[in-house]
Amino acid sequence: MAGNSIGKEFVATSFGESHGRIVGIIIDGCPSGLELAEADIQAEVDRRIPKQPKIVSGRIEKDKVQILSGVFNGFTTGAPITITVANKDLNSSDYEAMKDLPRPGHADYTARVKYGGFNDYRGGGRFSGRITVALVMAGAVAKKLLNLFQVDVFAYAKAIGNVKLDKSLDYEVVRSRRFTTSVRCPDEECAAKMEKAIIEARTEGDSLGGIVEIIAANVPTGIGEPLFDALDADLAKILFSLPAVKGVEFGAGFKAATLKGSQNNDAYQLLDGRVISSTNNHGGVLGGISSGMPIVIRIAIKPTPSIAKEQQTVALSTMENATLKVVGRHDPCIVPKAVPAAESAAAITLADHMIRAGYIPKVLKEQK
Ligand SMILES: Cc1cc2nc3c(=O)[nH]c(=O)nc-3n(C[C@H](O)[C@H](O)[C@H](O)COP(=O)(O)O)c2cc1C
């Protein structure tokens, strides 16, 4: 299956299926000399799934991270790094009926056509949100690398269904509080409303979507390779690769289309000898190159396709119209789990571009 690798210098290759033996990632091109332990990656994986059982799928994998290659004596060697977790909490029988009755909104039908029915459909196979655990593992390595150069990437839930966080919060508040609520919204009052909305949708046998905002702070000016490897293009590519992402916007995004140039342009000014802009409608990228302002991206997440309500579908074996009520364990809203996946995805692409631009050397330090 082509299309499983991303990046040019920091290349992450994803493997595994939802109900197969393992899910993992191979990172090729990580500089040598990065201090890296399983515990670093485990910490990111542990916060992938919110602890509030009412807002997540009943499938709770007790993921134990294993680094199988590329790390020696506690440091990356420069060789490919293989990181895995095992799949254990499986209910594959839930998917037998769906083999014939493709779920509306999921990839069951398109995957069946593309792979002639040989794809592993159990748990959604390669098209499951479970696959994002591999991105979180690669993201943990990318974040460690970026942090050495003071680049910080963090995301939070900005909206769930019709509940929106309208307050603008200080980035430090977002960074430090984003994982303190189950829905990953740093504002407790708004988070409580979001949680309530998810529980209500679930009770009705339905699901909700929402918006995740991603911020990358302290990205140096001048990162990005236009035309086709523009920084915003590559960030959009990895974010659109996350299952259920239906929109990506930078800065003012689609709203910019309604503004006048005089309103949308971000005026430059000097601050301690540095060129900054007084506003950030451009979202930190101009001409595909980082401007030095925070990179601000929002992604739209659709409502979870697998819902308990009855839906119309087609029985593929008989080619007759049919109805389907999806059984099994599903997230009533993908947004809380998408927060760590989105920040990891953005970190992978930023690490790749910082290596390409020469900001991160291939050898981080010499062995004594
Ligand atoms: C973290 C995460 C968890 C997900 N959980 C579910 C789920 O429980 N049930 C479901 O039907 N879809 C879930 N999805 C969404 C599907 O994987 C996705 O909608 C499907 O692969 C079709 O891809 P598309 O929506 O990008 O077109 C999840 C996605 C992510 C990122």
Q: What is the pLDDT of residues 255-310, one digit of tens each?
A: 999 999 999 999 999 999 999 999 999 999 999 999 999 999 999 999 999 999 99
Tokens (6 digits) for 32: 């040598």
**Confidence (pLDDT) at 1:** 55
The whole-angstrom separation of Cα 360 and Cα 209 is: 36
Asked whether 291 lines ligand 1 (CB < 6 A), one says no
Asked whether 48 lines ligand 1 (CB < 6 A), one says no
**Confidence (pLDDT) at 350:** 98
3-state secondary structure of 142: helix
Specify the pTM. Answer: 0.98
Say if residue 18's pLDDT is above 60. yes
**Confidence (pLDDT) at 94:** 78
Torsion over CA: 96, 102, 105, 107 (sign): positive
**Of 97, 127, 119, residue with least CA distance to 326:** 97
Q: Which residue has the tokens 């009705």?
A: 204
To test the pocket of ligand 1, the residue of 127, 128, 248 to mutate (highest count of ligand atoms within 8 Å of its CB) is 128
Nearest CA to ligand 1 atom 25: 244
The Å distance, Cα 128 to ligand 1 centre, comes to 6
Q: Which residue has the tokens 């601050």?
A: 271
- Give the number of other Cβ atoms within 10 Å of residue 79's Cβ: 13
Say if residue 31's pLDDT is above 90. yes
